[in-house]
Structures are given as C-alpha cells and as structure tokens.
Amino acid sequence: MSEDWLGDPTHIAPLNRYAAALRERRGDVPRFDPLDGGIDAHLLVFLETPGPASASTGTTSRDNPTGTARNLTRFLDKLQVSRRETVIWNAVPWRLPRRNGKLGRPTRKDIESAAQDLPALLALLPRLQVVVLAGRVAESLRTALAAARPKLTMIAIPHPSPTHLAASAAARERLFGEALRREIAVAMAIDPS
C-alpha cells in the first residue's frame, strides 16, 4: 500500500490512509483536505465524484479552483460552523473515466462499491453527527449510511455545481436559504439564531 499519508497532521492521517487503501483498489482517489477537521469532524459533506480540479490539487477541497467549490464554500460559510468541524468527501471517491469529453457519471456498480466502503470511513469519524448529501448520487447512499451508523442525521441538499444551480431557482434557495442553515444548526445542537 502506498504510504503517501506519512507526514500528514494527526487529525487527517487516518483518513488519508483510508484514501490510500481505496487508491490501491479503485484507482485515482484524491486525499482529504488537511485544513478541514478530519477525524474530529461533526459534519460530513458528501459530494458526488472527484471533479477535474482534484486531479491537479490531489485533494477533495472547498479550496479547489472550481465553481462547485466556490458554491460549497458559500454554503458552508452560511452555516457558521468552524472548518475544523467539517470534512468533505465524495459519494464515489474515485475518479471516473471521461465519456464523450465529459466527466464520467457513476454507474449503479460504482455506487454499490462505494457503499461497501462506508463503514470503514464512518469508523474513522467518531464525532460525526450530520451527513449532508449533496445531489442524487450522494443521496443514493442514504440507506447504506443509516445501516452503518443509524443515529446519524442526514440532510439532502442540491448539488452545488454552477450548472445545477443556474438551472433551478429552487435549488439556489434551498442551498443558500435560511431554512437549511437552521435545519443543520438544530441537527448539530447549536444555536440556530
């Protein structure tokens, strides 16, 4: 197994060992962002799959140079939750092959394979309270997440991609609106005001 996690801060090293093990079995899997909360996180944001920016940065991060990352940052900033309380990952964490010049879409087999890896991930996140499911692919893991950790609160949100948000005023309102911020604050037992 690759040992590219050596030298990581202690809060992120176990997660990057997990990512390295996935990389050995699944191919191109980005690392976790060391600026996030790592194993101390209370809130996990599940996106869909690694985007093109993670190929150049090597991480799944709100700091990647994309519109999705900018929208995700805007959403997280509105929550008023410390970055050290969050961790970001992908429902299908390995990069999919491009098809017809576009990012690959996860197949049912990809999603089923990703679901099998969830118990190991959740075991590394003992303080986790809330999982935010961003988009349909992430939402498809709801049952597997509940089976692995029944007491987790799961909250579905629109995927923060610019394309998706540009096409739906309702998605923009849901993602950036006050109701979602309050819902997550209540789930994390923080003052929603």
- Secondary structure (H, E, C), 80-101: CCCHHHEEEEECCCCCCCCECC
pLDDT score for 193: 54
Tokens of 12: 């992120």
2-18 burial string, b = 16+ CB within 10 Å, else e?
eeebeebeebbbbbbbb
DSSP label at residue 156? E
CB 141 within 8 A of CB 91: yes
User: What is residue 115's predicted lDDT score, i.e. its pLDDT?
Assistant: 95
pLDDT at position 192 is: 58
**Cβ–Cβ contacts within 10 Å for residue 82, how many?**
12
Residue 55, pLDDT score = 79
Structural domains in the chain, sorted by start: 13-187 (3.40.470.10)
CA separation for the pair 160, 141 (Å, rounded):
18
Question: Cα–Cα distance between 152 and 146 in angstroms, integer?
Answer: 7
Q: For residue 27, what pLDDT is reported? A: 84
The burial class, CB within 10 Å (0-12 / 13-18 / 19+), for 122 is middle
For each of the chain's 193 residues, which pLDDT tens digit applies? 345 545 688 999 999 999 999 999 988 899 999 999 999 999 999 999 998 788 789 999 999 999 999 999 999 999 888 999 999 999 999 988 766 666 668 889 999 999 999 999 999 999 999 999 999 999 999 999 999 999 999 999 999 999 989 999 999 999 999 999 999 999 988 655 5
